[in-house]
């Protein structure tokens, strides 16, 4: 899987400001993944798809196409496991250690 992009990288790729990227997220035209309580990472393939859909307006501003279809449960599960795999693994190891310590005494 490709490295996730920051809001600055997305803004540079789309040729817009960071505030515009935040607006795209609020409007549902771009999915931002919250890590640590903030929108900090974006999937490059979603950003590239959005860039292809952006239509220039007569006044020079960019207008995004309608938002894509919401993700299904499999994609949401895959994203959850991708973003939280470290925490799940750490929890499993700690639980295994606790169980081992309890059973060995």
Work out the number of other CB atoms within 10 angstroms of the CB of residue 82: 12
C-alpha to C-alpha distance for 31 and 41, rounded to whole angstroms:
9
Residues 22 and 61 in one domain: yes
Residues 85 and 54 in one domain: no
C-alpha to C-alpha distance for 13 and 87, rounded to whole angstroms:
31
Residues 11 and 51 in one domain: yes
Closest residue by Cα to residue 42 from 86, 85, 1, 88? 1
| Strand 33-35 to 55-56 pairing | unpaired
Residues 61 and 77 in one domain: no
Using one digit for the tens of pLDDT, what is the confidence trace for 82-98?
888 888 999 999 999 99
Query: CATH no. for residue 6?
Result: 1.10.1660.10
DSSP annotation of 59: T
Provide the phi-psi class of 36: left if phi over 0, else alpha when psi is between -120 and 50, else beta. left
Give residue 78's domain range: 69-105
C-alpha to C-alpha distance for 76 and 28, rounded to whole angstroms:
16
**Count of domains in the chain?**
2
Contact call for residues 30 and 48 (beta carbons, < 8 A) = no
Residues 26 and 57 in one domain: yes
Residues 76 and 104 in one domain: yes
Residues 73 and 92 in one domain: yes
Residues 16 and 55 in one domain: yes
* pLDDT higher than threshold 70 for residue 62: no
Residues 16 and 36 in one domain: yes
* pLDDT higher than threshold 60 for residue 66: no
Using one digit for the tens of pLDDT, what is the confidence trace for 21-59?
888 888 888 888 877 666 568 888 888 888 888 755 545
């Amino acid at each position: 899987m490709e490295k996730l992009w920051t809001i600055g990288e997305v803004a540079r790729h789309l040729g817009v400001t960071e505030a515009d990227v935040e607006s795209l997220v609020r409007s549902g035209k771009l999915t931002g993944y919250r890590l640590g309580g903030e929108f900090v990472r974006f999937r490059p393939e979603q950003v590239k798809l959005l860039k292809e859909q952006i239509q220039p307006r007569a006044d020079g501003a960019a207008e995004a196409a309608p938002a894509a279809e919401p993700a299904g449960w499999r994609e949401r599960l895959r994203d959850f496991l991708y973003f939280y795999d470290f925490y799940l693994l750490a929890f499993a190891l700690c639980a295994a250690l606790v169980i081992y310590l309890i059973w060995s005494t």
